[in-house]
Structure 1
Amino acid sequence: MRRLLLPSVLLVLLSLVADACGASGPSSRPAGSQPPAHYLPTLRPEAPLPTPYDGVTFEDPGVNPFVDTADDRESTFGLDVDTASYTIARRWIEDGNLPDPASIRVEEFVNAFDQGYAAPETGTFAIHADGGPSPFLDEDEVLLRIGVKAREVGDRERPDAALTFVVDVSGSMAREDRLELVKRSLALLVEELRPRDTVALVVYGSDARVVLSPTRARDADEILAAIGSLQPEGSTNAEAGLRLGYALARETLVEGGINRVILASDGVANVGVTDAEGILEEIRRDADAGIQLVTVGFGMGNYNDVLLEQLADDGDGFYAYVDQLDEARRLFVEDLTGTLQTVALDARVQVEFNPDAVEAYRLIGFENRAIDDDDFRDDDVEAGAIGAGHASTALYALRLEGDAGWEARLATVSLRWMDPDTRRADELAEDVYGGDLAESFRATEPAFQLDALVAATAERFRDSRWGRRYELRDVLAVADEIARDLPETAETDDFLALLEQAARLER
């Protein structure tokens, strides 16, 4: 067993995050197909783990192993900007429960935090890379962070938006006042729109109906009154709601503008077509026509995480979970343009490691975003949709060759995406060198240190093999030691409080 590199305050700590290959956007691997060779599924329990909530649906994506570069030097995955996994975990912990391991997607935990990447001065993307030792890795390993930052678009610069809200008003939405949180969340969005933007409102219970035809945002009082009138009713016919919502969106399609369907639901479908594949057949062609889908989950218990993620993926959008009004404010107010305007489709990354410098690697997260290495330039393979100003981060644990110095090229990071307007592919590539790595954990960037803590926490939550040699209290001890070095943000404070609460629950 390798000796671990630990701060003096700890007796035990260990290996960091598990990795994979994947993105936010439609699933890059068809159902039933064989995964890439470097994908290692987790061992499934013989029976589902007990849950404090009834009727929750998660899908364990597995955990990535180390891969020898002599066997496979390329790691390919679709970008992911979803954050739902982190806010779902926050909901569980604040309710006094450790999260379901199957609900944990490490990359979504990391995505939930501002990385501080600089936006590109020109072009669509900028690639960033840094790293260094980590207290959660073996002594002969380093943690590499690869960040992708999309160009920013000012609120005044974005095109006009045509939004169609599709709201689940079935009986399950009465639980925990989740429909009330939906109404307050959508009201926040409406208040941020420009006068020329339009909003339409469709609801579905046992069937679907139009509550508000497309209305200019300058008539905000009319829109807010329609939202405020919603009440829970009936079963859950998500298929009918999405069919009607997309039909309305097609009628108001803005050429060259932003066309979004925003689904607010707990993800349960029990009437009509109830599986993801059946519903997705109805929306894929609309995504190709430029109508993108954002799915926003609400509530816990009678909740389908799998359906909401798959709908967003195939709808060329992203998936978020709102557990409190502050999260809705972040999504619909602070990050409104990024939520609405897509700057890249089918964005994917291929990292080619240099076998002369890197002995082995493991990607941390992205397990359900894996793309075969040979498909990197196959534009028929769907990957992630990226909004203006959005960032995505991939973490790798690396075992370096002994003579890999500062000038050694560790890897080449290639990024490929489709322009949503021209539908033409573009690429960007950057090399990563040994000199991009800090010599100590304390010498790394504050956001990098936070990422190491967040990823280690997620690994522990999902019972990864890389997270079984330490406990949450050990992660908390490292966090306490470096607290003054971490980013001074409210989200950092929230995470540290959450970690402390989770560590108490684990005892």
Structure 2
Amino acid sequence: MDNRTRAGGAALSLLATSSLIIAIAGCSQDQSSEEVESIATYEIASPPPPVSPAPPGVVAEMASVDMAMAPPPARWAAPHIPGDAYPMPPEDRERYAGEEVSPIKLVAAEPVSTFSVDVDTGAYANARRFLTMGQLPPRGAVRTEEMINYFRYDYALPEDRSKPFSVTLDAAESPWNPQAKLIRVGLRGYDLPRDERPAANLVFLVDVSGSMNSPDKLPLVKRALSGLASEMSGKDKVSIVVYAGRTAVVLEPTSNSAKVRAALSRLEAGGSTAGAAGLQLAYDMARQGFIKGGVNRVILATDGDFNVGMSDTDRLIEMIEKQRDSGVTLTTLGFGTGNYNEAMMEQIANHGNGNYAYIDSALEAKKVLHEEMSSTLFTIAKDVKIQVEFNPATVSQYRLIGYENRALREEDFNNDAVDAGDIGAGHQVTAIYEVIPAGNKGWISDRRYGAEAGSPAASRADEAAFVQLRYKLPDGSKSKLIQYRLPAAALQTRRQPQGDFAFAAAVAAYGQKLRGDELLKGFSWEDVVSLAGRQRDYYRQEFVELARTAEAQM
């Protein structure tokens, strides 16, 4: 029995709902010509636990047919594939573009931290795949922010849709460094009821090349996209484009989900991989069926192994940036092992104003394309940027945990021409800073000629940080601004993270340990498990088991 099965078995019989008060750090406002809003206190209901999943496994039905969609012959069922894990092929050609762990910043020299939000979750599922195969993931495959954002937290809903997301600020003592504090910034988008969803024009772009001929690739793609097709309403349209050595439209736009599922079931793998040509054709189809005021999105399902035509990631990004200006966005779904090009998948989704997920099981497909469909498809805020300015009178050093490839220049924050991440309906975003309060021993020794905190900082000694967010509405071109202050008193706490904050900190430590972060000192895997605490949610229980598995691989 694997770790996911043990965790799932413990979770199946547990259901719980609760009502709780989230008190968010309220602060006074600066008045300006721009829209400035403050934090409030909300009463919300915690999200229900996930539906008890069926035992993992993939059952694929396939039929022989060429890419021109010849009439299908009799169908046959492939053998049941037990479990979620697939053996790594002998030749490992997987590609990652990991960056170095974020460095420590001295507030006196660099008080401002600016970054784009990230709602991708692919790094968590991909790391899980490695661990279930008995291997540690490559450090370049680990992006800690995607691991934190894989989970949902008890953030308040927005009061109304005039501001599409709520903002939570809180602080606690760092579990691995008694000299430091953790500051959490949490965003939660408003929910979008099914009857209020805009019409969707979706193009499924499916890789049917020879490299997809594996149980964890094309059969799983077909199952995942068939599930998404079943979620579509009568006002939505789906078309299907495939590519191998050549490209083809195998299904014209239709609102008939049965036709979509039938077309998917008749796909088979073979040939080389002309991915760039497939992307171009998919964008053409999306523009052909464009719905003004609706969702127009290409959903690419592949292992990312482009080997015919344009395959350079930088050139692909240039092409996709031009396409997104037309209003068509891109979501990438990664599959498989051995030749998986995660570096390309994650980056083109970021530049295509979409999101990236890795699908390692039918259960993950259900989570991404069913349970989280609204956040995957329906954007409620775009170009969302966060900027935190620390007060040198109260904070001496800091580091942002994760978000290495989402960093922006300080001047990018006010520049509406600079692209940033989008937030979908119901999406959540969490960022965690580790900071050293002034007077505490930091990671970096005091400088001999360090400047004293200036009078402007000292005059605001009751503030620890000034937090600003910019965003645009989906149809807007000018950003809106919201501002908050984190009071200095928040950093005087000696309380360890509790509840949701403790779990988020545990996931942050998990990601950083997988990255080899030396600043975690002696914080052990058992400490990660202890900090996560007892969990009733299936995915959180699975996380605890993965942390134990990682310890066994070290």
CA separation in 2, counterparts of 1:347 and 1:320? Answer: 19
Determine the structure 1 residue equivalent to 2:504: 451
Deviation digits for residues 472-504 of structure 1 (CA, Å, limit 9, x no counterpart): 24433x34xx624xx531111010011111111
CA gap 1:419/1:439 in 2 versus in 1, 3 angstroms = same
Corresponding residue pairs, total: 447
Residue type matched to 1:445 in 2?
Q
Correspondence for 2:525 among 451, 472, 475 = 472
Deviation digits for residues 203-237 of structure 1 (CA, Å, limit 9, x no counterpart): 10111100100001xx2211110011110011111
Determine the structure 2 residue equivalent to 1:304: 341
CA separation in 1, counterparts of 2:195 and 2:312? Answer: 39
Determine the structure 2 residue equivalent to 1:410: 464
Determine the structure 1 residue equivalent to 2:219: 180
Correspondence for 1:261 among 282, 298, 303 = 298
The answer to whether the aligner puts 1:382 opposite 2:419 as a matched pair is: yes
The answer to whether the aligner puts 1:433 opposite 2:472 as a matched pair is: no
Correspondence for 1:115 among 153, 157, 166 = 153
Q: In the TM superposition, what are the counterparts of 1:8-157 in structure 2 within 5 Å?
A: 54-122=92-160, 123-136=163-176, 138-157=177-196
Residue type matched to 1:463 in 2?
G
Correspondence for 1:365 among 402, 405, 423 = 402
Determine the structure 2 residue equivalent to 1:15: none
Deviation digits for residues 211-267 of structure 1 (CA, Å, limit 9, x no counterpart): 100001xx2211110011110011111101101000000000000001110000111
Determine the structure 1 residue equivalent to 2:235: 196
Residue type matched to 1:126 in 2?
S
Q: In the TM superposition, what are the counterparts of 1:388-407 in structure 2 within 5 Å?
A: 388-402=425-439
CA separation in 2, counterparts of 1:247 and 1:470? Answer: 51
CA separation in 1, counterparts of 2:246 and 2:381? Answer: 34
Conservation of the 8 A alpha-carbon contact between 1:246 and 1:283: no
SS in 1 for 2:493: coil
SS in 1 for 2:533: helix
Q: Which range moved further: 417-426 or 233-242? A: 417-426
Q: CA deviation at 1:505?
A: 1.6
Conservation of the 8 A alpha-carbon contact between 2:116 and 2:385: yes
Residue type matched to 1:173 in 2?
M
Conservation of the 8 A alpha-carbon contact between 2:437 and 2:491: no
Correspondence for 1:284 among 321, 325, 331 = 321
Q: Which range moved further: 253-262 or 409-418? A: 409-418
SS in 1 for 2:344: helix
Conservation of the 8 A alpha-carbon contact between 2:216 and 2:335: no
Residue type matched to 2:431 in 1?
A
CA separation in 2, counterparts of 1:232 and 1:466? Answer: 46
SS in 2 for 1:282: helix
Conservation of the 8 A alpha-carbon contact between 1:441 and 1:449: no
The answer to whether the aligner puts 1:491 opposite 2:532 as a matched pair is: no
Residue type matched to 1:165 in 2?
F
The answer to whether the aligner puts 1:162 opposite 2:201 as a matched pair is: yes
Deviation digits for residues 177-204 of structure 1 (CA, Å, limit 9, x no counterpart): 4100000000111111111110000010
Segments ≥4 residues shifted beyond 3 Å: 50-53, 434-442, 467-471
Q: CA deviation at 1:79?
A: 0.6
Conservation of the 8 A alpha-carbon contact between 1:293 and 1:318: yes
Q: CA deviation at 1:332?
A: 1.0
CA separation in 2, counterparts of 1:468 and 1:237? Answer: 47
Q: CA deviation at 1:438?
A: 8.1
Q: CA deviation at 1:131?
A: 2.0
CA gap 1:70/1:52 in 2 versus in 1, 3 angstroms = farther
Conservation of the 8 A alpha-carbon contact between 1:352 and 1:412: yes
The answer to whether the aligner puts 1:460 opposite 2:513 as a matched pair is: yes
CA gap 1:180/1:413 in 2 versus in 1, 3 angstroms = same
SS in 1 for 2:196: coil
CA separation in 2, counterparts of 1:432 and 1:51? Answer: 50
Structure number with higher relative contact order (C-alpha < 8 Å, ≥ 6 residues apart): 1
CA separation in 2, counterparts of 1:169 and 1:178? Answer: 9
Q: CA deviation at 1:426?
A: 1.0
CA separation in 1, counterparts of 2:156 and 2:233? Answer: 27
Task: In structure 1, list runs of 5 or more residues that go unmatched.
Answer: 1-49
CA separation in 1, counterparts of 2:220 and 2:89? Answer: 24
Conservation of the 8 A alpha-carbon contact between 1:52 and 1:97: no
Conservation of the 8 A alpha-carbon contact between 1:149 and 1:392: yes
Q: CA deviation at 1:349?
A: 0.5
SS in 2 for 1:320: strand
Determine the structure 2 residue equivalent to 1:24: none
Deviation digits for residues 365-419 of structure 1 (CA, Å, limit 9, x no counterpart): 0111111112211122211121111111111111012499xx9311111111222
Q: Which range moved further: 357-366 or 411-420? A: 411-420
Task: Tell me how large the CA RMSD over aligned residues is.
Answer: 2.0
CA separation in 2, counterparts of 1:185 and 1:436? Answer: 44
Q: CA deviation at 1:435?
A: 4.3
CA separation in 1, counterparts of 2:394 and 2:327? Answer: 43
> Which TM-score applies when normalising by structure 2?
0.78
Conservation of the 8 A alpha-carbon contact between 1:169 and 1:232: yes
CA separation in 2, counterparts of 1:132 and 1:436? Answer: 8
Q: In the TM superposition, what are the counterparts of 1:222-301 in structure 2 within 5 Å?
A: 222-301=259-338
Q: Which range moved further: 395-404 or 308-317? A: 395-404
Q: Which has the larger radius of gyration?
A: 2
CA separation in 1, counterparts of 2:476 and 2:169? Answer: 29
Residue type matched to 2:545 in 1?
A
CA separation in 1, counterparts of 2:319 and 2:333? Answer: 19
Conservation of the 8 A alpha-carbon contact between 1:130 and 1:437: no
Conservation of the 8 A alpha-carbon contact between 1:146 and 1:395: yes
Residue type matched to 2:551 in 1?
A
SS in 2 for 1:175: coil
> Which TM-score applies when normalising by structure 1?
0.85
Residue type matched to 1:338 in 2?
S
Task: In structure 2, list runs of 5 or more residues that go unmatched.
Answer: 1-87, 441-457
SS in 2 for 1:57: coil
Q: CA deviation at 1:458?
A: 1.0
